[in-house]
Structure 1
Amino acid sequence: MRKELDKVYDPKQVEDRTYQFWLDGNYFHAKVDPKKEPYTIVIPPPNITGQLHMGHALDETLQDILIRWRRMQGRSALWLPGTDHASIATEAKIVEAMKKEGLTKEGIGREEFMKRAWAWKEKYGGRIVEQLKKLGSSCDWERERFTLDEGCSEAVKEVFVRLYEKGLIYRGERIINWCPHCKTSISDAEVEYEEQAGHFWHINYPIVGTDQYLQIATTRPETMLGDTAVAVHPEDERYQHLIGKKVLLPIVNKEIPIIADSYVEMEFGTGVVKITPAHDPNDFEVGLRHNLPVINVMNDDATINQNGGKFQGMDRYECRKAIVKELEELGLLVKVQEHNHNVGECYRCSTTVEPTISKQWFVKMEPLAKPAIQAVQKGETKFVPERFDKIYYHWMENIKDWCISRQLWWGHRIPAWYCDECGEVIVSKHTPGECPKCHSKKLTQDPDTLDTWFSSALWPFSTLGWPQQTPELKYFYPTNTLVTGYDIIFFWVARMIFSGIEHMGKSPFDTVLIHGLVRDAQGRKMSKSLGNGIDPLEICDQYGADALRFTLATGNAPGHDMRFSDDKVKASRNFANKLWNAARFIMMNLSDDVKEGELPQNLNIEDRWVLSKFNSLVKEVTDNLEKFELGIAVQKLYDFIWDILCDWYIELTKSRLSQGGETGLAAQKILVYVMSNTLKLLHPFMPFITEEIWQALPHEGESIMISQWPVYDENLCFEEEEEDFEKVMDAIRAVRNRRAEMNVPPSKKAHVYIVTQDKEVFQQGEPFFVRLASAASVEVGDSFQMDTAVQVVTDAARIFIPMDELIDKEKELARLAKEKESALKDIDMISRKLANEGFVAKAPAAVVQGEKAKLQRHKERLAKIEESIAAFK
């Protein structure tokens, strides 16, 4: 017995039930099948701390569209899901929870802390996965991975050891970015720069043995406590005589050398710079060239340490104020200039980052970056849109060594041990029993963990079983499409590319589809501070997941930001309702013997038109998806369903359906064929409603999501008939528009006379003028004579409608006269207001402009009224 559709579509009654139906059918699972071509997407793993936001919703919707489409095309489509352990964010949450209990990490110890961390992950880590399911995400949940699971952890250790043995991972002292709040190092890519209002403090450094000074300018006076030199350019004639002499470092009262280095810009400021190797990356390089001491003056929390003398214990900004005050008292503060400059902030907590000398683990990037650049240059991996490859090249060509160690406990612990006796460093996948150098068994593992991005860089192959050579790895790698936002190219995309090439010999994906941000209705970035964030789950609850997905796909263009508003979601919900009502109409007029995919032998002109239109739609939507033009594809589907199928073809068939017989049965078959196949095209975008309707229509197979994607059929290409029928449609539209302009109600019928060279075409279309253009009757001929008639002209026809059949001339003239009088009054009133000099001078410009616009609208209205009056004379 055929399933009936409810009177009103209620997503709440459909979505959870349908998703469970898909899970029960195991339709999301992708198998290794040599007979099928694979198609793979690995999900950008959301943090286990994450709560679904609109950026996630967009990212997952785009991936699901692609994976559902490829699955329907018959490919073994794997969408591999998983979550990221998110070292900094997760540890911060656990520490915060412990703080409420009066506990600290150090107090409970590493082992107990890790127990708590895993318990936290089990409790909260699956939340975002359940939220993804609410969107309809068709991930292969059987293959779900976690960056800290056993397999991924094995891959991380393998990679670390391999790179270390190749000399591409090393441990050394370098300037790193230190977050005083998170109390860990972070990589260059994790620093976000924001322009802030600051100052340049100009300070005199006394030249030893003279009464002269060298003036330097700095934005961070507190770092002068760690100065070990001042530098000038070797070709700067102003200072050549001072090179090799010394200055007295103010407050610290220590002599430091004046050195020459081409790093100094002669034209900038005074041409003299202070050199603080422990707290500035450029100064560090200068220090290496000149063998300068490196003095770190800060603790991990950005307070001054013992090297800061009397300032020890002060916060860095408190110290800054104290130093500036003392310099002023000593008469060494020359001036203070306001200065806007970019300040680095931690991408996690927005704390100002402190460049600090530190012993850390690094990846040597230049040898890894070169083949990764070539992979994009050769087209092995392409960016969509293409312009993002320039950002990629810029970052990769200027890349610095990657600091991969983090001062955290939650994460992959660095597989390095230190011999307590001789200091030997042992890097191994397994815990060593003794030191290979002195055979001591007193070994201590490095306490640090690896940067979260180190493990996620391996995601496309570690999730498929590497370093084991699994059948899945061989079949599904390289993956096909990576879908991600443009803000993550450095963090993740670049690192996956060079990791894939280094360890697998191939780039991990052929295409990187870059999408923009979802902004609010005013175009602002969604943020907690603005309070303009929108919860996708609330939207799903209110309007349905399909409405949210359709909204995110509509108007979406690769690389471009999009605006989100309630009005857009409402429009998507209305579209779903339109589709539902159309399906219900079809089913209410359906015979039991109509089957899916069945077409009648005898086709009317309107049948050929809709089939030809649908056939073109198949080709265009498929082409758009191939080019990742998802927004264009969904707009074409919207236009076809709303305009072609609902507003035209269903209306055209109503008389045939009521008439019954062979013509009625033919209409039924075409309606089922077009609706069923259109649902397939729409399914990747709106999976829930399409499944529900498809199950109710005549169909073969278990689920729409594993049905065959429609393909272009040369036999359904009726270009000539399509063109002919659109001549009839143009004429019907023109008549309807003219009647609307004249305020003629649809209930008032009138005879229609058509002069055209396409007589046969318009004769076939006569019933449609009666049904859709309120025609009492239709005559098609070479010419017609009548005294007063409304004329409507299209490219293919001239249409005459007797005037007296449309309106009562006297009544209409009286009505138009009243409208004209009203328009003239409005024009007079606004004209007098704009002629008032006082009003124009005092009113805001926007108000004056608004009045001018109103005046123009009333003048245009008057012109139309006068045209209508003239038509009666």
Structure 2
Amino acid sequence: MNVTRLKELRKSVTLCRSYCYKLNEARVADFPTTYDTRGVQEHWDKIWKNNAYFTPKNDSASFRMILPPPNVTGVLHLGHALTVTIQDVLARWHRMRGDSVLWVPGLDHAGIATQAAVEKYLFATKGITRKQMGKEELLSAIQEWKTTKGTTIVTQLKCLGASLDWSREYFTMSKEHNAAVTEAFITLNERNLLYRKKDLVNWSPALQSTISDMEVELLEVSKRTEILLPGYQRKIPFGEMVEVAFQVKNSDEEVVIATTRVESMLGDAALAVHPEDARYSHLIGKEVFHPLRECFIPVIADLSVRRDFGTGVLKITPAHDRLDLEIGRKHNLELIEVINEDGTMNDRAKSFKGLQRFIARQKILDHLADKGLLRAVKDHPMVIPLCSRSGDVVEYLIKEQWFVRTQKMAEKLLAATKNNLLRIEPGKLEELWIERLENTKDWCVSRQLWWGHRIPAFKCSNSSETRWIVARTLSEAQEIASKFGSGWDVQQDEDVLDTWFSAGLLPLSAMGWPRVNCRGFYPLSLMETGHDIMSLWVARMAMLCDELTGQLPFEEVLLHGVLCDAQGKKMSKSLGNVINPEYVIDGISLEELNKRAQESFDTGVLSKSELKRTLSVNSKTFPGGIPECGVDALRFTLCAHNIKSDRISFNVIECKTNKHFCNKIWQACRYVLLVTDDGGIEQPTSLSAVDQWILSKMELMVERVNQNFAERNFYRAVNAVRQFFYYEFCDFYLEATKFGLKNGDKDTVEGHKWTLGKCLEVSLRVLAPVMPYLSEDLYSRLGRKLPGFLDVPSLMEAPYPRQGEVGQRNEVLEQRFEDILRVVTRMRNILSQVSRKSLLEVHVVLEEDERYQLFAENINFIVATTRVPNLKIVRRDEYIVGEESVCHEEADCKLYFVLSDKQVEDQMKKKILSM
């Protein structure tokens, strides 16, 4: 082929590509050239609100959820955004499928977390403590905090596009929720599922309250490690095993014990050994002299003692250790409490009385060393229980508290699970769910806080005895006490209930129970939340609500993984890697990020070390700040991960890429407007092979998206959308139509125009649950100018595409086109390695007549998608190989690249051989 002819062909391709953009420029006069989110969200939020799309269609709902209520401790981060996005996608999908959807928003008072946050804030900003303020003033400050944070959280939820029924918004400390809490507590008491007892609890000295297992963080150290704790001027060493000698009574023999908790030795009631340990069996039943208590204590035998731990001799301190308490109760040992609620040593600590427990530890070590009884101090791995709210080391103290009996409730829940009445997703967590239920422990629900639901229990005392009454009000309790006789003083318990107790009632209380009938809104269709609170919240919810109603509060539980940063580290204040969703939606500079971190430090939200880490992470991870991505791209990115994984890594770069995908969708819509006109386009009676192919692929996409939404595999649904729209529609089909629209006959042109419009109309409805704002905006713009679009004020009123809507799939055609796509993709890869100026022709040589016919009929498709104008489709028996060509085999055909430059030809041969 001569150079002049080659230039003409290339010019033809260029003209063809530019032709479409000169057709109907007037049709895109009001269509911006790039995707811009400004003003779009406010516009559609108003339309959705005015049309009351977020409220159920009637007095019942076929799909029901509650949003796990964010704590009013602070503002939402990306972990919350993940939960919101998952649930909103499901809510929007179900609405478009014709379901009446109820999705209820709310805020959790988060007793211990909120009180701790406010105390930090007050100390950081005003230098005052809870005790200095008093109860009423602190509660007033917390209420003000709740109002401020609650307003911010609601704004954030709306910015995420959450289609919540705001008319049903609740707060877990409202009068209505307090009534539900009281009713539940009284019901449990009447059913003998509630009791008050002295038992060992997790105690936070800094907060001076019992805390739940969830609020205990376990810090592992492998050797001596110094940690700065609240209330201490210097760091305290941990990770040490201390060996101390005890003298056997009436003997020269000594017994050496090993402990990591020297300060608790003042509460030792015995030493224990394994009954089969030959080293110590002769000591069982004897006594040893305690060097700190200065008295004799017994040596006992117990099978729970580990012979391989330390020296094999275990000191038993029943009042300050869970295992020791079990052993102590079996052997009727004395409970000797030596540590106060504030973490100081009490009267039983003798000369160490009043010292902070870890200062006392060092004093005790010095004392033992002076007496010659300290045998060793060694590095030793250990797990340190820390209060997640204060950073203090958790103590185990004996406290009289209220407990809920959970065993019978757990057994019913276990049976429901095994009988498939309750489904846990992902399935791999069902085994853990069952294990936790089988090993359930009674639940301590007392908390020594000022912020929370007062326990509806009353202490009735006279000069000789004390009784406890569970009642709704003080007057009711007084009436009950009067039946005991006169002289009883009745006072309500000062403690409040664990936050998880009120949270456990939410499937009921959020629907108005017990004041209104919840029929039609209970049980929930789905309970969706993070897997890290499966036992602490979901299981307790299921147990409490089932006990109160005789019906499980949900049939399906969906547990998503923990959101992590790009490096796979859990997002937390301590690591300094927490990202707020508005930073990604609106974008933020590094300077502003650091300014926000400094403000958090100034108000007590971040500690000094947390601020330092945050500034360091910001500088390393976001040296140029975080780019503006918009809410649609953020939602798409969150859905693009397997939410059922244990950990979900979020990378802002992915979000930026997905903003480009949003723009790709925008540009595709703009192109379709350019190549169409105002005239109506009826569905053609016959379509070209490429039109049939893309419609079949769209049918496959619709099928896969619906299936994966139903199975809660969001990432597969999103991948199906991306595969179709980005690659099959934009990358291949849309390019192919440019030749057909210019050079094709009337049927081809009409077929292309109708198919382009149909693909956009269906795709935007498919995308609506994930990208609501982009979809609404584009559907509204295109609906005014393209036939086939529904005349609806919002996609909220449009049906979600279902299988069969665009016709039947043509799997045979799809498979045949796969051959073409493989050839096109390989040609693109090869041609990306050389200069196209040296390319004269490309020959596609085929053996079979059927495949030759397929490629020949779709030559424009291949030319358009490879941008190779000088392309020939040839039968193998008619082809003569030229000396100047380079050959590559692909998909049962041979590709010959004819080059004008011998040097380029040699280079290309090497590259093809290396592929």
Question: C-alpha offsets along residues 12-31 of structure 1, whole Å, 9 cap, x if unaligned?
Answer: 23223322322222211124
Amino acid in structure 2 at the alignment position of 1:482: M
The amino acid across from 2:566 in the alignment is: A
1:43-91 CA-to-partner distances (Å, cap 9, x unmatched) read: 1111011322121122211111222111111111222211110111211
Match of 2:69 among 41, 45, 56: 45
> Which stretch shifts more, 48-57 or 750-759?
750-759
How far did residue 290 of structure 1 move?
2.8
Distance 1:316 1:645, change over 3 A: same
Question: What SS does structure 2 have at the residue aligned with 1:479?
Answer: coil
Question: Judging changes above 3 Å, is the alpha-carbon distance between structure 1 residues 594 and 152 closer, same or farther for their aligned structure 2 residues?
Answer: farther
- TM-score normalised per structure 2: 0.84
Q: Which residue of 1 aligns with 2:749?
A: 664
Q: Distance in 2 between matches of 1:171 and 1:25?
A: 52
- Once the two structures are superposed, the pairs formed by residues 1-400 of structure 1 within 5 Å of their partners are 4-32=30-58, 38-99=62-123, 100-101=125-126, 103-196=128-221, 197=223, 198-236=239-277, 238-400=279-441
Higher alpha-carbon deviation: 435-444 or 147-156: 435-444
432 and 771 in structure 1: CA distance in 2 versus 1, 3 angstrom threshold: same
Partner of 1:423: 466
Report the equivalent of 1:517: 562
Give deviations 1:147-200, integer Å, cap 9, x for gaps: 112222111111111111222111111111101112110123432222123122
Structure 1: which amino acid aligns with 2:635?
R
Q: Offset at 1:129?
A: 2.0
Q: Does 1:652 align with 2:736?
A: yes
Distance 1:362 1:706 in 2: 49
| One-letter code aligned to 2:499 | T
Amino acid corresponding to residue 551 of structure 1 in structure 2: T
> How many residues are matched?
813
Tell me, in whole angstroms, the C-alpha distance in 1 between the residues paired with 2:208 and 2:812. 72
Q: Where do 5+ consecutive residues of structure 1 fail to align?
A: 820-860, 869-873
1:677 to 2:762 alignment: yes
Distance apart, 1:441 and its partner CA: 6.7
Match of 1:694 among 755, 770, 779: 779
Task: Give 1:366's aligned amino acid.
Answer: Q
Deviation at 1:440, TM superposition (A): 4.8
Question: Within the alignment, does 1:767 sit opposite 2:860 as a pair?
Answer: yes
Against the structure 1 CA distance between its residues 269 and 611, is the aligned structure 2 distance closer, same or farther, given a 3 Å change threshold? same
Q: Is the 8 A contact 1:518 1:525 kept in 2?
A: yes
2 CA distance for matches of 1:766 and 1:229?
91
Answering whether residue 835 of structure 2 is matched by residue 712 of structure 1, we say no
Distance (whole Å) between structure 1 residues aligned to residue 722 and residue 140 of structure 2 = 52
Distance 2:541 2:503 in 1: 8
Change (3 A) 1:22 1:749: farther
**Letter paired with 2:703:** K
Contact between 1:732 and 1:769, CA under 8 Å: does it hold in 2?
yes
Post-superposition Cα deviations, 1:600-647, rounded to whole Å, max 9, x if no partner, equal 322111111111111111111111111111111101111110111111
Distance 1:661 1:193, change over 3 A: same
C-alpha displacement of 1:514? 2.2
**1:613 to 2:656 alignment:** no
Question: Runs of 5+ in structure 2 lacking a partner?
Answer: 1-25, 224-238, 587-627, 784-789
Q: Which moved more, 1:786-795 or 1:276-285?
A: 786-795
1:628 corresponds to: 712
Instruction: Give the direction of change, closer, same or farther, for the CA distance of 1:294–1:750 in structure 2 (3 Å limit).
Output: closer
Asked whether the 8 Å contact 2:198–2:400 carries over to 1, the reply is yes
- Contact conserved, 2:845 with 2:876, CA < 8 A, in 1? no
Q: After the TM superposition, which of the residue ranges 652-661 and 130-139 deviates more from structure 2?
A: 652-661
State the AA in 1 paired with 2:560: H
Secondary structure in 1 aligned to 2:836? Answer: coil
CA–CA distance in 2 between the matches of 1:750 and 1:94?
Answer: 72
CA distance in 2, matches of 1:717, 1:151: 54
Structure 2 CA distance, aligned partners of 1:772 and 1:628?
A: 35
Q: 2:532 aligns with which of 487, 508, 514?
A: 487
1:722 aligns with 2:722: no
Query: Which residue among 895, 902, 906 is the counterpart of 1:813?
Result: 902
Deviations 1:248-277, CA, capped at 9 Å, x for gaps = 221321233333433334454444322212
Q: Contact (CA 8 Å) 1:199, 1:339: kept in 2 or not?
A: yes
Aligned mates of 1:32, 1:110 — CA distance in 2:
44
Amino acid at match of 1:277: P
Q: Which segment is superposed worse, 774-783 or 112-121? A: 774-783
Instruction: Summarize the Cα distance change of 1:519–1:661 in structure 2 as closer, same or farther, 3 Å threshold.
Output: same
CA distance, structure 2, for counterparts of residue 212 and residue 750 of structure 1: 96
Shift in Å, 1:678 = 0.9
Give the equivalent residue in structure 2 for 1:837. none
Q: 1:581: Cα distance to partner? A: 0.3
Q: Greater CA deviation, 734-743 or 699-708?
A: 734-743
Cα deviation, residue 718, structure 1? 2.3
The verdict on how the C-alpha distance between 1:777 and 1:298 changes in structure 2, with shifts beyond 3 A counting, is closer
Q: 1:174 to 1:369 in 2, by over 3 A?
A: same
Question: Corresponding residue for 2:13?
Answer: none
Are positions 1:600 and 2:684 aligned together?
yes
SS in 2 for 1:7: coil
Indicate if the aligned counterparts of 1:12 and 1:544 stay in contact, CA closer than 8 A: no
2:501 alignment counterpart: 454
Cα deviation for residue 463 of structure 1 reads 0.7
Q: Distance in 2 between matches of 1:866 and 1:62?
A: 47
Q: Secondary structure at the match of 2:466?
A: coil
TM-superposed deviation, 1:110: 3.2
Identical positions, percent: 37
Aligned partner of 1:501: which letter? Answer: D
| 8 Å contact kept, 2:187–2:548 | no
- Rounded Cα–Cα distance in structure 2 between residues aligned with 1:777 and 1:234: 89
Q: Which moved more, 1:101-110 or 1:485-494?
A: 101-110
User: Whole-Å Cα distance in 1 between the matches of residues 305 and 863 of structure 2?
Assistant: 86
Using a 3 Å threshold, how does the CA distance of structure 1 residues 179 and 287 change in structure 2: closer, same or farther? same
Q: Distance in 2 between matches of 1:814 and 1:796?
A: 28
Aligned equivalent of 2:911:
864
Matched with 1:848 is: none
Match of 2:878 in 1: 784
Contact 1:33 1:76 in 2 (8 A): no
Shift of 1:101: 4.3
Q: CA deviation at 1:768?
A: 2.8
* 1:588 aligned residue (671, 674, 677): 674
Deviates more, 1:317-326 or 1:246-255: 246-255
TM-score of the pair, normalised by structure 1? 0.87
Answer yes or no: is the 8 Å Cα contact 2:216–2:386 preserved in 1: yes
Q: Bigger CA drift: 742-751 or 358-367?
A: 742-751
- Kindly provide the CA deviation profile for residues 409-442 of structure 1, in whole angstroms up to 9, marking residues without a partner as x: 1011100111242522111122335224235573
The CA distance in 2 between the partners of 1:867 and 1:124, in whole Å, is: 60
Q: How far is 1:357 from its partner?
A: 0.9
Tell me the C-alpha RMSD between the 2 structures.
2.8
In structure 2, what is the Cα distance between the partners aligned to 1:645 and 1:259?
78
Report if aligned partners of 1:236, 1:266 keep a CA contact under 8 Å in 2. Answer: yes
In structure 1, distance between residues paired with 2:519 and 2:40 = 38
